[in-house]
Chains A and B, each alone.
Chain A
Amino acid sequence: QSALTQPASVSGSPGQSIAISCTGTSSDVGGYNYVSWYQQHPGKAPKLMIYEVSNRPSGVPDRFSGSKSGNTASLTISGLQAEDEADYYCSSYTSSTTLVVFGGGTKLTVL
């Protein structure tokens, strides 16, 4: 069981917007602005899409955005494209001795 809770799957049609949630506790997501999101295509290494809740690394399209409310963070993808179909993982700093925790991952299907 992962420390952060994500929906197992989400789907959307090209051009639509979708959001993926990531729920933790006040010891991780809710207590710190160190939430990050990763995109992972099959057989590939994860790619950083968002860090510090809402910051995009250079080269990540602005269709990807992050936010947080209380103990839940969200990744929103607008203008869905076929290439966005992948697994998405959230991660957070935690004040527990584990230091870094991940969500269980969400499979995004572009219909």
Chain B
Amino acid sequence: QVQLQESGPGLVKPSETLSLTCTVSGGSISNYYWSWIRQPPGKGLEWIGYMYYSGATNYNPSLKSRVTMSVDKSKNQFSLKLSSVTAADTAIYYCAREVLSGPNYDTRNYAFDFWGQGTMVTVSS
């Protein structure tokens, strides 16, 4: 069973960079699309962006200027960096795997079947 685990600082100062890592266990990071999704306290979900195992990325335009995602296949990990954070970036951050279907399991569905437990990041001085 695939498991995802987010890790990183729980407190970040305003204007600094938020850095999180997602470690994938029970399966390979290869051949899948991996996303970051966040949820402000008491609010809904927001897709931040995805990274393909090859390194290709696509970011939410609302965050694109501040987001960088990267992958480390040797460690089965992928990472998120969000720069110039403000209080509005306070949220639970989830990493998630995208569903692939079809006879070769290579058809994207833009749905997420495996999620990390989430990590709360607070932006405060």
Contacts and interface: CB of A to CB of B under 8 A. Distances in A.
B116 A91 contact: no
A12 to B, nearest CB: 22
What class of interface size applies to chain B in its complex with A?
A: 20 to 34
Contact of A45 (B50, B99, B109, B115): B115
A55 B110 CA distance: 13
Given A98-B61, A99-B58, A99-B60, A48 B44 contact: no
Contacts of A93: 110
Given A51-B99, A98-B61, A34 B110 contact: yes
Given A45-B94, A45-B117, A51-B99, A99 B47 contact: yes
Contacts, number: 65
A48 B113 contact: yes
Nearest to A58: B113
Contact of A102 (B46, B50, B99, B115): B46
Contact of A2 (B44, B62, B109, B118): B44
A85 interface: no
Nearest to B110: A93
- Give 5 nearest A-B pairs by CB, closest first: A36-B111, A51-B111, A93-B110, A100-B47, A45-B115
